[in-house]
Amino acid sequence: MSQYERKEEAIRRILEGATSAVPPELLDDAVRRGSRALRRRTAVRRAFWTLLFVAAVAFVVWASVARPWVEPPTDTTPPLTRW
């Protein structure tokens, strides 16, 4: 029997066993940490989308006020020449 087959057989025995291999207090702790991580991930995602939306609105407001696509007026006039 190879080492892989021995590990597979040990895993099968654990999974088919009638008793749970995970202590109950460890399960409660894992559920609590998992829900905390899920809330944190949701908050970070919500903050990211809010920040992205605020940046897009700020850009649109700036672009409508500054109008960077319009050529600025010249500060000097061309010299007058007489014929």
Chain length of the chain: 83
Q: How far apart are CA 53 and CA 46, in angstroms?
A: 11
pTM passes above 0.85: no
Question: Contact 21/14 with Cβ under 8 angstroms?
Answer: yes
pLDDT grade, residue 61 (50/70/90)?
Answer: very high
Question: Contact 42/48 with Cβ under 8 angstroms?
Answer: no
Q: How far apart are CA 60 and CA 47, in angstroms?
A: 20
pLDDT grade, residue 59 (50/70/90)?
Answer: very high
Q: How far apart are CA 36 and CA 30, in angstroms?
A: 10
Please report the pLDDT score of residue 37 as a whole number. 93
